Amino acid sequence: MRAFERPFCGSLRAGDIGKRVELVGWVRRRRDLGGLVFVDLRDREGWVQVLFADALRTQAERLSGEDVIRVVGTVAARSGGNVNPDMPTGEVEVAAEELELLRAAETPPFQVEDRDNASEELRLRHRVLDLRRPEMMRNLALRHRVTFEIRQHFHEHGFLDVETPILTRSTPEGARDFLVPSRLTPGSFYALPQSPQLFKQLLQVAGVGRYMQIARCFRDEDLRADRQPEFTQVDVEASFIEEEDLYALIEGLFARIFPLAGIQPPATFQRLTYRDAMERFGSDRPDLRFALELIELAPAAATCAFEPFRLAAASGRVKGLVIPGGAAFSRKQLDELSELVKPFGAPGVVWMRRTTEGYGSPVKKLLGDEGIAAFLQAAAVAEGDLLVVVGGAPKVVFAALGALRIEMAKRGGLITPGAHAFGWVTDFPLFEWDDETARWYATHHAFTSPNPEDVPFLESDPGRVRARAYDVIMDGVELGGGSIRIHDAELQRRVFRVMGIDDETARRKFGFLLEAFRFGAPPHGGIALGLDRLIMLMAGRDSIRDVIAFPKTTAGNCLLTDAPNVVDASQLDELKLSLKS
C-alpha cells in the first residue's frame, strides 16, 4: 500500500468493516486482558483499538506509550457490549496480523492526553508531545481548512495572493518594531513588518487591484493573554471600492468559513457608528448578543443635588445601566459593583432602587425620594431592578459601564449559549488626542482617509473628523479592521502634519508612498482580520496558544527552542554591534 493511501487510525468507521488496512501511529495506551493485548493506536485524526492475539501477543506486550508502530490487520465490528459510542471509531477494532516497531519511545515527561496534570510551561517545552493531543490536531486541521477556504474565496473574487517583504522598513501601526541589524550596512536596521500596510497600498498603485495575503506580522509590545509577538493576519486591499464592497466581501467570507465551526452568521451584519457603540454600549467592540444598553442620564443629573453628577452632566457624561433583578442585591454585591468599575478610573458607582420598603440609594439623603425617583423614571427602572449610575469623563464612564454591562450579562445569564452576534462599527474618529505626549494620533493608522465632509476641519478641529474606517466585530471581540485610504499625496501630508509629522519627516519615512501617489494612484481600501483570534473563537478555545503550532509565552519566549537567546561574540562583531552592560 502506498503511504498516502493508508487510512488514518482515527478515521476508521463501521463502513470499513472487513477491509484489510495498514496503519501507522503512536501507542496511546496498552492493556493486557484475558490473553489478548489491546492497543489504542493514535494518529492525527484520533485513535482506534487494535487487538493482538496469538503469536503477536508477546511482541505487543513489550509496547509502551508513544512507541511508533506499523500494523497490518483487518477492520472488524466490535461485539455488541464492546461498542463505545463515545469515540468516533467506537464501533470497530482492528485485528492485527502484522506488527512492526518502527521506533520505541522513552517514557514521556507527561501523558500526552492528560492535559490537567502537566503545567502549560512543561507542555510548551515539550510542544511536540502536546501537539499530539487530538484536540490540538483538530485545531490545526480547522486552521488549515479555514485558510484554504479564505484563499478560495478571494481567488473566486479575483484577488491575487502576493507576498510582501519580511525584512523591511518600519510600518506605522503604532506599536514598537522588531529590528534586525544589517551586516552588509553596519549600523542600519531592517524592521519586521507590523503589517504589510504600505506594500499592499503600493500594490494598488502598481495596478494589482485586488490583493490578499495570509501575512505574518510582528509587533514588539508587552504581551497580553491573547497576543503574540508574531501573529497572522488575513490582509486584504482592493482598488476602486467603497465601504459597502468590502462589507459584502467579508460577510461572504464569514458565511463560508464560520459553518466549518458550526456557526451560521447572518447574511448581512448590523451596523453601528463608533459614536453609537460608545454611547449605547460603552465599547467600540460591543457584545451585541444581549441588549442591556447604557442609559443617558444627563438631564436628570443636570439639576440633581449631587454635585459630582451635576459637574459630569455639564462637562462629561452621566450614564446608567439597569440590572434586571438587581434590587435584591446584597450589600456585598452592591459594594462589588464599585470594585468592578475602579480599574477603569471611576471612583465607584451610585446605585438606586425602589423596593417595597421605598427608595434606596447611598445618595438618598442628599437627593431625597424625589431626586431618586427622577433618575429611576428617566431610566424606566421597574420594581425589582437596580439602576447603576456613573458620572465623569466620557472615556471613564464608557469604559466603566461597558465593562459592567458585560459582567452583569455574564452573571445574569443574559448570553444565550451558542448565540453569536456579528457587526460592523463605522465612522471612527480619525484622530485621538494623547495627553501625555500632547499630540494627535491616528485612531486606525496614518493612511486612513478622512470622511470628505470633515476634511475642512482637519486643521481647525481634528477631533471632530470622522475616518472612513471600520471594524468587524463578533461577540464583543474585534475580528478585524480596515479603512478606505488616502490616495492623494497632499491630503496625506496634511494628515501627517496634524499628527506632528512635518513634510521633511514624512518624506524621509514614507517618501516612497508619497512618490508613488504622484504617478496615478487609484482610490483604494482594505481590511485585515486577525487569523489567530478568528480560529480561536471558531475552535471555542480561550487561549490563542491553542491554535498556533509553536506559540510564545506571554513573556515572548519560545520554551521549545529557548528563543530569544544570546549570540556569539563573533556574530555581534560581524554586525559591528556591542552590548551595553
Within 8 A by CB and 6+ apart from 319, the residues are 282, 294, 295, 296, 297, 389, 390, 391, 397, 398, 401
C-alpha cell at 440: 494627535
Tell me which residue of 152, 148, 145, 120 sits closest to 133, measured CA to CA: 120
Q: How far is the CB of 202 from ligand ASP (least distance, A)?
A: 13
Interface segment toward ligand ASP; rule CB under 6 A; list 135-143, 246-254, 274-282, 479-487:
479-487
Interface segment toward ligand ASP; rule CB under 6 A; list 203-211, 287-295, 526-534, 549-557:
526-534
Interatomic CA distance for residues 131 and 134, integer angstroms? 8
Q: How far is the CB of 306 from ligand ASP (least distance, A)?
A: 42
Q: How many CB atoms lie within 10 A of CB 43?
A: 21
| Stretch 96-115 residues interacting with ligand ASP (CB under 6 A) | none
Interatomic CA distance for residues 178 and 219, integer angstroms? 7
> Angle at which helices 331-341 and 394-411 pack, to 10 degrees?
130
Q: How far is the CB of 287 from ligand ASP (least distance, A)?
A: 21
Interatomic CA distance for residues 245 and 243, integer angstroms? 5
Kindly tell me the burial class for residue 193, based on how many C-beta atoms sit within 10 Å of its own C-beta (0-12, 13-18, 19 or more).
buried
Interatomic CA distance for residues 118 and 115, integer angstroms? 6
Interface segment toward ligand ASP; rule CB under 6 A; list 128-136, 266-274, 423-431, 477-485:
477-485
Question: HSE-up of 412 (CA within 13 Å, CB side)?
Answer: 20
| Total chain residues near ligand ASP (CB under 6 A) | 10
| Stretch 368-427 residues interacting with ligand ASP (CB under 6 A) | none
Are 369 and 357 a contacting pair, CB within 8 Å?
Answer: no
Query: 3-class SS at 579?
Result: coil
Q: How far is CA 319 from CA 296, 323, 394, in A?
A: 5, 13, 9
Tell me which residue of 321, 315, 324 sits closest to 402, measured CA to CA: 321
Q: Which of 164, 197, 204, 283 binds ligand ASP (CB under 6 A)?
A: 197
Query: 3-class SS at 160?
Result: strand
Q: How far is the CB of 204 from ligand ASP (least distance, A)?
A: 12
C-alpha cell at 43: 494518529
Interface segment toward ligand ASP; rule CB under 6 A; list 316-324, 478-486, 491-499, 502-510:
478-486
Q: Rule CB under 6 A: is residue 450 a binding residue for ligand ASP?
A: no
Are 487 and 523 a contacting pair, CB within 8 Å?
Answer: yes
Q: How far is the CB of 229 from ligand ASP (least distance, A)?
A: 15
Q: Which of 316, 371, 476, 481 binds ligand ASP (CB under 6 A)?
A: 481
| Stretch 120-179 residues interacting with ligand ASP (CB under 6 A) | 173
| Nearer to ligand ASP (CB atom), residue 134 or residue 481 | 481
Interface segment toward ligand ASP; rule CB under 6 A; list 378-386, 417-425, 522-530, 552-560:
522-530
Q: Rule CB under 6 A: is residue 202 a binding residue for ligand ASP?
A: no
Query: 3-class SS at 573?
Result: helix
| Nearer to ligand ASP (CB atom), residue 284 or residue 385 | 284
Q: Which of 25, 172, 526, 551 binds ligand ASP (CB under 6 A)?
A: 526
Q: How far is the CB of 482 from ligand ASP (least distance, A)?
A: 4
Interatomic CA distance for residues 190 and 548, integer angstroms? 26
Tell me which residue of 302, 298, 306 sits closest to 279, measured CA to CA: 298
Q: Which of 94, 352, 527, 539 binds ligand ASP (CB under 6 A)?
A: 527
Tell me which residue of 495, 489, 526, 484 sits closest to 511, measured CA to CA: 489
Q: How far is the CB of 448 from ligand ASP (least distance, A)?
A: 7
| Nearer to ligand ASP (CB atom), residue 51 or residue 531 | 531
| Nearer to ligand ASP (CB atom), residue 375 or residue 517 | 517
| Nearer to ligand ASP (CB atom), residue 133 or residue 169 | 169
C-alpha cell at 159: 484577488
| Cell 536596521 -> residue | 189
Q: How far is the CB of 349 from ligand ASP (least distance, A)?
A: 34
Q: How far is the CB of 174 from ligand ASP (least distance, A)?
A: 9
Q: Which of 318, 372, 401, 528 binds ligand ASP (CB under 6 A)?
A: 528
Interface segment toward ligand ASP; rule CB under 6 A; list 18-26, 218-226, 281-289, 476-484:
476-484
| Stretch 204-263 residues interacting with ligand ASP (CB under 6 A) | 233
| Nearer to ligand ASP (CB atom), residue 89 or residue 195 | 195
Q: Rule CB under 6 A: is residue 195 a binding residue for ligand ASP?
A: yes
Q: Which of 483, 496, 533, 546 binds ligand ASP (CB under 6 A)?
A: 483
* List of residues contacting ligand ASP (CB under 6 A): 173, 195, 197, 233, 481-483, 526-528
